[in-house]
């Protein structure tokens, strides 16, 4: 039944996307080219609506809250959680639809995200209350558990939105993240999260057929916000444990959007720009700037996302010291890539300059 449902979701997204494309032109949900954007002609947005409808079809057929329970270690009512995810997703979709049509202000868009995240946290009961630290001790978040969980959901939601700058980029990266979350959730005995992740992933792939370069339709904020929201919720729920290691896993899985967002913040701070100021220095922009084509840049970022996913799986199976070594290797690798492509600034290369300054010891002279 699961495989049949996933096939239906894929086909539904594939069949719905051309219909949504016509609807987007009819209601004026289009994206006009400007100096910051890569496309050169008016493009229909709203493609995320096809992904969302396919998602609703999938959860209606298979009813994951009834047929795929949460593990015993997670003390959350799955029916309340499931309903809160659906309601929160609907609010996010409405926020995205209004933005794709009218381009609402960032404050209104943020308000929609706050309401959606609060529903999942308040009504659904999803929150991280404390963490056992690696070398002993416990970090209790107390009253901060609710705002911190909401901050995670809002942060990841916007991170996916920020990487939606090239044809097929956000859809492909999201699909890789969702398949990784789903597979790891299944291995860790969390079928509810696994099934939900797979349903959204195949729905996104059905849309990606029309969104890969050269794109015929964009997912718009409707799709980017929905994918970010659902990934944030499922990643937190899939690895909702009380250990520090379990909380790092979703961060690694979402390494590409999180890194791009983090360095965008650093870049704007270094260049003394407002955090909300748009620019053309995100990861995909930098790859094109150094000579990669549109399609090559997207495929390269897909590969990075897949590597992060593999690293997350290895990380989850490693010992404590092994996990720390993997984490250090990831941080160094990310920093080298950032400096190589000029993600913060072209002259920002502290690590590369340090490595270049290390001269090999001449043993012959020493002797």
Annotated binding site for Mg(2+): 161, 221
Q: Are 131 and 243 in contact (CB under 8 A)?
A: yes
DSSP secondary structure, 317-354, as one string? HS-HHHHHHHHHHHHHHHHHHHHHHTSS-TT--HHHHH
Torsion, Cα of 91, 97, 103, 107 (10° steps): 10
Backbone angles phi, psi at 140, to 5 degrees: -95, 120
Helix boundaries (H) for the chain: 2-27, 48-62, 64-67, 78-102, 106-118, 145-162, 169-187, 191-211, 220-238, 244-253, 255-270, 283-289, 294-317, 320-341, 350-357, 363-366
Binding-site entries: 161, 221
- Residue 48 and residue 316: Cα distance in Å, rounded? 31
- Residue 344 and residue 36: Cα distance in Å, rounded? 17
* CA nearest to 129, candidates 236, 255, 229: 236
What's the distance, CA 205 to chain centroid? 15
DSSP 216: S
* CA nearest to 13, candidates 43, 56, 42: 56
Q: Around Cβ 9, how many Cβ atoms within 10 Å?
A: 29
Query: In sequence order, what are the beta bridge partners of 238?
Result: none
- Residue 83 and residue 65: Cα distance in Å, rounded? 9
- Residue partners of 273: CB distance under 8 A and separation at least 6: 267, 279
């Amino acid at each position: 039944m699961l495989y049949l449902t996933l096939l239906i979701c894929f086909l539904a997204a594939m069949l719905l996307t051309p219909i949504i494309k016509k609807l987007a032109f009819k209601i004026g949900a289009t994206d006009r080219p400007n100096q910051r954007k890569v496309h050169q002609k008016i493009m229909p947005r709203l493609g995320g609506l096809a992904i969302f409808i396919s998602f609703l079809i999938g959860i209606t057929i298979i009813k994951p809250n009834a047929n795929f329970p949460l593990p015993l270690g997670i003390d959350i009512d799955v029916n309340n959680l499931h309903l809160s995810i659906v309601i929160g997703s609907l609010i996010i979709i409405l926020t995205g639809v209004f933005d794709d049509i009218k381009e609402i202000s960032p404050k209104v868009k943020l308000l929609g995200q706050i309401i959606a995240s609060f529903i999942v946290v308040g009504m659904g009961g999803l929150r991280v209350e404390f963490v056992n630290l690696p070398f002993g001790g416990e970090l209790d978040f107390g009253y901060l558990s609710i705002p911190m969980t909401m901050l995670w959901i809002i942060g990841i939601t916007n991170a996916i939105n920020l990487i939606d700058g090239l044809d097929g980029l956000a859809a492909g990266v999201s699909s890789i993240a969702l398949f990784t979350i789903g597979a790891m959730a299944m291995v860790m005995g969390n079928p509810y999260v696994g099934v939900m992740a797979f349903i959204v992933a195949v729905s996104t792939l059905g849309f990606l057929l029309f969104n890969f370069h050269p794109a015929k339709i964009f997912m718009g904020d409707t799709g980017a916000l929905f994918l970010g929201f659902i990934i944030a919720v499922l990643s937190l729920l899939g690895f909702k444990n009380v250990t520090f290691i379990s909380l790092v896993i979703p961060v690694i899985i979402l390494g590409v959007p999180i890194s791009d967002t983090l360095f965008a913040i650093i870049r704007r701070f270094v260049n003394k720009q407002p955090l909300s100021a748009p620019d053309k220095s995100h990861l995909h922009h930098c790859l094109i700037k150094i000579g990669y084509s549109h399609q090559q840049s997207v495929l390269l970022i897909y590969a990075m996302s897949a590597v992060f996913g593999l690293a997350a799986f290895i990380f989850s199976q490693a010992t404590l010291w092994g996990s720390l070594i993997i984490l250090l290797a990831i941080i160094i690798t990310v920093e080298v890539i950032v400096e190589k492509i000029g993600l913060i600034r072209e002259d920002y290369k502290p690590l590369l300059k340090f490595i270049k300054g290390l001269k090999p010891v001449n043993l012959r002279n020493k002797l």
